[in-house]
Every structure is written in C-alpha cells, then in structure tokens.
C-alpha cells in the first residue's frame, strides 16, 4: 500500500516534537527542507537517509530535525544512523538510483558545538545559506 505524502512539519512543530530549540535540530531541519525541495519525494518511502556521526547528544538532535523535515524515520527504516568517532557529520540521501552526499562544514559544527544560547544559535543556522552549512 502506498501512502500519500503528508505535509512536512513546520520548524515550530519540530521544536515541540523535539522538546526544545537548538542548533543541531535546526541543522537537521534545514538540510531536510533542502533535500525535499531539491529531490521532490512524492511518497513517505521515497527517500532513504544514512547519517554517519557521533551517536551522542547533542549530535543526535540532528536526527529529529531530519525526521520532521523529510518524513524519513528510524521506525519506518528509511533513516539509519551509523556511528563514527570523529566530529564530522556526513549524510547520504537516496531517491531511487539518485544519491546526494552532504558533509556538514566545520564552521557550521563550530556554531552548534559552541552555542551559549541554543535558540540564538538555531536561528543563526536557519538564516545561513546552504553553501555555508554543508558541501
């Protein structure tokens, strides 16, 4: 059975789902919105996302941002997380035979990791150009 793709969550709804605002949440949400806009999925299983990163907070907050903006979820099995020991975050997104690879830029990670005010850092991430957040 193929389900119609529901509407994505807004960032405010994403904050409510996650429980608080923060730059890693914003980074995942921002990347997910970019992916949806450029890859144009039509069903809930059109995208498969593989994230490679540290599997500890605050890094893992990126997953909730991705889930809310792409509708790929760990539960459905189209979002998977793979542990790495370094601070780098790489995200591979698949739609059919198409693959897009994203690597979070060190400057964006620095903003996230050095945030004193999580809300301000999140708003900064949401305002930044895509080219300044990932390659």
pLDDT tens digits for 64-121?
999 999 999 999 999 999 999 899 999 999 999 999 999 999 999 999 999 999 999 9
Q: What is the pLDDT of residues 6-21, one digit of tens each?
A: 788 999 999 999 999 9
What is the pTM assigned to this prediction?
Answer: 0.93
Architecture per CATH, 11-128: 2-Layer Sandwich (3.30)
Distance CA 121, CA 123 (A): 5
23, 38 in Cβ contact below 8 A? Answer: no
Query: What ranges do the domains of the chain cover?
Result: 11-128
- Could you give the angle at which helices 11-18 and 23-39 cross, rounded to 10 degrees? 130
72, 78 in Cβ contact below 8 A? Answer: yes
């Amino acid at each position: 059975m193929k389900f119609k793709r529901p509407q994505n969550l807004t960032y405010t709804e994403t904050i409510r789902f996650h429980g608080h605002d923060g730059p890693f949440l914003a980074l995942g949400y921002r990347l997910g919105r970019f992916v949806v806009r450029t890859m144009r999925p039509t069903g809930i299983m059109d995208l498969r996302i593989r994230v490679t990163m540290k599997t500890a907070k605050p890094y893992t907050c990126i997953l909730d941002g991705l889930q809310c903006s792409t509708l790929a979820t760990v539960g459905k099995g189209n979002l998977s997380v793979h542990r790495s020991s370094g601070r780098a975050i790489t995200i591979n997104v698949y739609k059919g035979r198409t693959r897009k690879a994203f690597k979070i830029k060190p400057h964006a990670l620095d903003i996230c990791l050095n945030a004193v005010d999580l809300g301000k850092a999140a708003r900064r991430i949401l305002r930044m150009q895509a080219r300044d957040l990932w390659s």
